[in-house]
Structure formats: structure tokens, C-alpha cells
Amino acid sequence: MDGSHPLSTSRLGTDLRALRRSRGTTLADLAAQIDRSVGWLSQVERGLSDPSIDDLRRLAGAFGVSIGFFFQNDDAPEDERGHVVRAANRRTLGDPVAGLAEEMLSPDLGGAFEMLRSTFAPGAELAEAQTRDTEEAGYVISGTLDLWIGERLFTLTPGDSFRFAGEPYRWRNPGTEEAVVIWTITPPVY
């Protein structure tokens, strides 16, 4: 790094590789998007090169996350890194759907699954069904969430849970309060 920010190059490399693979992006495609060489990007993923702040901005833009995504949890005690995420150190993920805010509960993106805290604003909706090559499960903490899995509609309330794999799904918060869901996805998509 250029000395202006404390960022673990090892964790950054692991996160970049996981993000890239989960999005189905090749090294060559990502390198072209951020105007860097494939060799340089490969070295960053292996923790051998340090990206500048400008590089991190371009990478954040390519993945639709804030630049702060790369810095969260770095001030955690060394013995907690990779194991514990304190509430104040959660990484906020991009906002691909209006009305959905997601925080990463997993310590990093290097595992077989990711766990998110998803907050759905009143009236928020994923109107077009999407299908991912994943297995997903969730637990409703508060509020109400309508979840369509295939053609079936499930209205979920606090304490309810769900699971689906490789099926089309969509959601809507029909209530007047936020719906909060702990959502687990394997393999990771962020």
C-alpha cells in the first residue's frame, strides 16, 4: 500500500478473488474494467501487490460496493480477524435494489458461504424474479416479507425461516415497518 491506509493485502486479495469469482468475472475482464494488467490484478489477489486508493475506487465501482467495503474490520484485534465481526465493524454492501440495505456478517468473502443482514424498507420490492446458482436460507428477525419461490408465495413474519436452491425468487416488504432478515448464501455472491 502507499502507506496512507492500513489494509491487509492478504484479506484484500482473498476478498477480491471471492468477489470476482462469485460474479463470474475473469481476471482479464476485471483488469480491463479497471484499466490494469492481468498480472498486476493476479498479484493483488495473491497479496503480492498493494493497490492504491484510486485502484480501490475503481475496484469498488466494478463490484458495486463502497470503497469503505475494503477497510471494514481492519481495526479489529488481530485474534478476532477472520473469526468475529463486531456490530460496529460490519461492511455495508452495494444497493442494487432500492429499499434494500445489506450488511455483511461474515468476517470475509473467503468461505464457502456468506451471511448477510438484509433490511427491506416498507414497500421495497424485487419485482422481477431472479435465479442464481446458489443455495440460500434466511431467518426473519422483524417485520413481514413476502417471498416468492417459483410461483409459490410465502408471507414470512418474525421467527419464520426459509431455504431454496437454484429456483427463481423475488420478494416484497408489504408492511409499514422495515423487515430484517438474516440471509445466508452459498456460494457467496458478493
The pLDDT value given to residue 12 = 79
CA separation (Å) from 40 to 29, 47, 139? 13, 11, 40
- Whether 10 has a pLDDT exceeding 70, the answer reads no
Give dist(CA 112, CA 37) in Å, integer: 28
Q: Which of 23, 31, 9 is nearest to 190 (CA)?
A: 23
Overall average pLDDT of the 99-121 stretch: 87
Q: What are phi and psi of 10, to 5 degrees?
A: -65, -50
The whole-number average pLDDT for the span 76-101 is 78
Amino acid at 160: D
- Give the alpha-carbon dihedral of 168, 108, 34, 51, to 10 degrees: 180
* Cα–Cα distance for residue pair 178/186, rounded to 1 Å: 25
Task: Assign 71 a pLDDT band (cuts: 50, 70, 90).
Answer: low
Half-sphere exposure of 132 (CA within 13 A, CB side): 16
Average pLDDT over residues 158-163: 98
Residue spans in the chain of domains classed CATH 2.60.120.10 = 87-186
Of residues 77 and 9, which shows the higher confidence score?
Answer: 77
Residue whose C-alpha cell reads 413474519 in the numeric block: 157
What CATH superfamily classification does 9-70 receive? lambda repressor-like DNA-binding domains (1.10.260.40)
- The four Cα atoms 20, 162, 100, 97 give a dihedral, to 10 degrees, of 60
Q: What mean pLDDT, rounded, does the chain reach? A: 85
Q: What integer pLDDT is reported at residue 3 of this predicted model?
A: 37
Predicted confidence at residue 9, as pLDDT, reads: 62
* Protein fold of 87-186: Jelly Rolls (2.60.120)
Q: Which residues are CB-neighbours of 29 under 8 A, at least 6 positions away?
A: none
With H, G, I as helix, E, B as strand and everything else as coil, classify residue 68. Answer: helix
189: left (phi over 0), alpha (psi -120 to 50) or beta: alpha
